[in-house]
Each structure stands twice: as structure tokens, then as C-alpha cells.
Amino acid sequence: MADPTTLALFSLFCCALYFALQRYQLRHLQSANPRKLPYPPGPKPELIIGNTRHIPPHSSWLQYTKWKKDFGDIIHLEALGKHIVVLNSYDISHELLDVRPTYSDRPNAPMLCDLMGWKGIVPNLPYDDKWRRCRKLMHSILHKDAIKDYSPALERYTRVFLSQLMDSPESFSEHLRLQVTKIDLCSPRKSNPSSNRFKLIVVPEDTIATATKVAFPGAVLVDTFPLLMYVPSWFPGAAFKRNAKAWKKIVLKMVSDPYLRVKADVDAGVAAPSFTSACLEDGTHDERDIMWSAASMYTAGADTTHASLVTFFLAMATHPDVQAKAQAEIDQVIKANNKLPSFEDRDSLPYVNCLLKEVQRWIPATPLALPHRAMENDYYEGYYISGGSIVLGNVWSITQDEAVYQNPKQFWPERFENLETAELDPYKYAFGFGRRSCAGVNFADALLYIAVVSILATFNIRKPRGENGEEVEPKVTLTGGIICRPENLKCTIQPRSDAAIALLRSIADE
């Protein structure tokens, strides 16, 4: 075995070689810019390392949004030969990411995909045939009409959540997480929300949490220097490799165990109806496509919907007037106080629908969507975007755009109320862009609606109370990885009335 000094020298040599290749590639791409147009503006790069030090590893959307004032709606950064283009307005994000198919690819992410084992997950797949097959499979159960079949199951699961909320309101975030996980995995006809058969899949949350932290450019060094992947695990400073190895084992188990269980049930003729069993029984699909599509729906769906629901709790705790207005609308429509709102009531609840949009805008769950990759050189309004660039639609910046939203910091559902003067609908960007936009948007929307309307019908959410019983401002921080969620939120959650308590008790007894 080589001694550590030789290995250190070898690693240095690899880094230098990689860097030289990047510079060569850069020059090559520049020569592929026949119009000789400039890159979009951006912070001045430093010698050799470019903008590497300018890109924050966490909550980078905040810095990108600040730069909008200095550099505008399209910004270029270069980190050790990697080109990053940030789009800071809806119009540009729409024009490039929604309209031009060349941005439908994903950048290669060695840490996440190769080392941590997330390569097969749909959000990480390159724009190829496997991705198309998986999107088609998922579409079969996630398109708008198919979602209607889920209504009874979603209502059932929400009722379980409500009774848990009555029993231990202080654990609302944990209850929410468990419910969105179960709901995300439910099949339209499955009928036992209390079942703990999902345990296997709930376990690796921390693995998913880690994945959401490293998924952006600049978050980990190995993404900038992919050759570091080949550093031996025992090498000093290679803890990332040791950790990744352990995570990979868990990820692959998380993906394969539920699949193998359903497959065994299908073979034995005892499978409960589910996405996986239906695809297997169909018999025409690649097994790996089925397995990774099922895992993708769980991993992409649970954390995001959980984040939106925690944001909803924060909004209600801090905006009692909005809460009261939404509750009055619900009371008006439901009339009887011994039943919960259902999907059928949705069209009669315009203010609640505005509130749902405002939840997506106020603190978007995915403030940079997911990174896209330009498959070829492109031009936009006199600027050059080189093929291979990572392109980020800055959702956060769109939500804060004063040219689009009045008082963007304020939680104010009224901005969407009047159809003629309504501000930009967040559903046009909060779920991402173009062909890579969220595959589960209809499911997420249905889940959020039924949860929000049922909670509002039965509970009051208020600010937390201090030592003397007085209301105090909730202290929250926002998470800064791929998912943005208020953390450590405390609030006071109480049934709205005696009738609500009776209704919740009857649900608990069901």
C-alpha cells in the first residue's frame, strides 16, 4: 500500500490535473461562443478560484437575491471552472427553464449520486430514456384525474392527524411528518392509517435530511473536484467518504426493502393495491424503474409537503386575522359543526385557496427549485450561457420581487383574491420549471388542501405563551439546504370550541 505522503501528492496531482482540464474545457467553450457575447454579469471572480468563496454553502438563495440589486435578473458565477447561472425573476426563469428544452437536464452531483447512492432517484436522473420512463410511470398515478381517487384516503389520514393533534398538540410537527409520509405512500384504497408498516421507510429521515443539505453547487468540495471521490476512505479529511458509505447502505435499503416486500406479496397473490403492485402486475415495466419511481415519490414528496405545512402553522400563529377570515369562510360553507370539510367543498372556499397559494409564496419549500443543466450553449438577451452550466431558478427571489408582489414580506392571501388584479400565481414557479417541474404537484396540492382546511375547521393556532402566560413571538430559523422550513416552531394549538372537541372525539373513536 502506498504511504500517506505519496497519496497526498497523488491527490494534489489529481486536483491540479482536474483544474487544468477545467481550464481547457473553459477555453474550449469560450471558442464555442461564435457570437463572442459576454457571460451575464456577476460578482468579480477571484484569481484561480473564481467565485467559489462568494457562494454560501447554505441558504444561497438569500445572497443570490441580494445580488439582484447589483447585477440584475440573470447572474453568472464561476467556481473552479464550473459555470452557474442564477435566474432572479419569473420572466427569465419562465423563458429559459419552462420554454427552452435545453435546460431539462440535471448537473452531475458526485457526492449525492455516486457516493451517497441517490443516483437512481428521479430528481437526479439525467434527461434520458430512463427519466422519461419513470416520469410516465409516476404520471399514471399523479395526474389530476388520478388524484381524485386518493380523496377518501387523504381524508382518512387527515382525520387520524387531527386526533393526534388533539392528544399532543406540542408535537404537531412530528405528527405532520408521520402523516405526510404515510399519505405519500398510501394507495387510494388502502384503509389503515394507524398501521406502522411504513416504519421501514420512516427510519432514514436523517439520510434524506443530509441529502437535502448537499444537493446544491458549492455545498461539498467533492462536487467541485470529482476526483476526490477516489481518495481512500481512511485518508485524513476523507470523513465524507466514510459517512457517504454508511448513508449509501441505508439509501439502497430504503429503496429496495419496500419494493421487495411488495414483490413477494405480488408473487404470493396477496398484495394490497399500490403503485408498486399495480406496476408489477402490469408486467411490462423494468423492475428498477418501478423501484426507483416509488422511492422518488416518497423522498421528493414527504419533506416538501411537511415544510409547507409547518409554514402554514407559522403563518396562522402570526396572522390571527387571516386565520379568522378563513375559518369564517369554512363555517359558512360547512354550516353543520359535526362534520369536516371535504374535497367537494373546495370550489366554495376561495379564500382558503388563496391562503394555500400564499403559503407557497411566503416561505417557498424549495427556494431554488432543483438545479437544471444547460445541455448546449445558449444565448439570452445578449448574454452567453455555456453548455454544461448549472442553471438555478431562484424561486425565493421571485417571491420577494416588489415588481410582482405588494409588500412581499407580508402574509396576505388577499393578493390573489380578485381574479382581475391577482398577483402572479405561485403555482407557476413554486413547484419548479419546465419538463423537470414537480411530478407530484397535484398530489401535494390535494394533500395540503385537505390538511389545511380540516385543521382550520377544528383548531385555533396561536403564538406560543411565555412564562407568565402572555403570547410571545415565535422564534424560528429557516433551514438552509434544498428544503426551506421554519425550524423549532412553537405555537399554541387548541380545539376551536366544544363542538370541535366533540367532533374530534368522534373521529378518534372511529
Q: Which residue ranges make up the annotated binding site for heme?
A: 438
User: What are the C-alpha distances in Å from 488 to residues 86, 275, 313, 314, 493?
Assistant: 30, 34, 12, 11, 15
Residue 280: burial class (beta carbons within 10 Å; 0-12, 13-18, 19+): buried
How far apart, in whole angstroms, are the C-alpha atoms of residue 476 and residue 485?
9
Q: Which is nearer to ligand HEM, 99 or 499 (CB)?
A: 99
Which amino acid is present at 86? V
In the bound state with ligand HEM, the residue whose beta carbon lies nearer, of 112 and 166, is 112
Tell me how crowded residue 419 is: count the other CB atoms within 10 A of its CB. 7
Q: Pick between residue 150 and residue 247 the one whose CB is nearest to ligand HEM.
A: 150
Q: Enter the DSSP assignment of 271.
A: P
Toward ligand HEM, which CB reaches closer, 354 or 369? 369
Minimal distance, residue 59 CB to ligand HEM, in Å: 16
At its nearest, how many Å lie between ligand HEM and the CB of residue 458?
A: 22
Least distance between ligand HEM and beta carbon 478 (Å): 14
Report the interface residues with ligand HEM, using CB under 6 A: 122-123, 135, 138, 142, 184, 296-297, 300-301, 304-305, 308, 365-366, 369-370, 372, 430-433, 436-440, 443-444
Give me the DSSP letters along 471-484: B-----EE--SSS-
Q: Which is nearer to ligand HEM, 308 or 479 (CB)?
A: 308
Least separation in angstroms between residue 385's CB and ligand HEM is 16
Helices 151-167 and 441-458: angle between axes, nearest 10 degrees: 40
Q: Could you give the residue ranges of the DSSP H alpha helices within 194-238? A: 199-202, 205-214, 221-224
Closest to 491 measured CA to CA, from 457, 448, 440, 455: 455
What is the Cα–Cα distance from 473 to 52, expressed in whole angstroms? 37
Sign of CA dihedral 347, 349, 351, 352: negative
Q: In a 3-state reduction of DSSP, which class is residue 361?
A: helix
* Residue closer to ligand HEM (CB basis): 68 or 361: 361
Q: How far is the CB of 297 from ligand HEM (least distance, A)?
A: 4
In the complex, minimum distance from the CB of residue 170 to ligand HEM, in angstroms, rounded to a whole number: 24
Residue whose CB is less far from ligand HEM, 334 or 453: 453
Q: Which residue shows C-alpha cell 435546460?
A: 103
User: At closest approach, how far in Å is the CB of 257 from ligand HEM?
Assistant: 19
Amino acid found at 436: R
Torsion region of 33: left, alpha or beta (phi above 0 gives left; psi -120 to 50 gives alpha): beta
Residues 6+ positions from 95 with CB-CB distance below 8 Å = 380
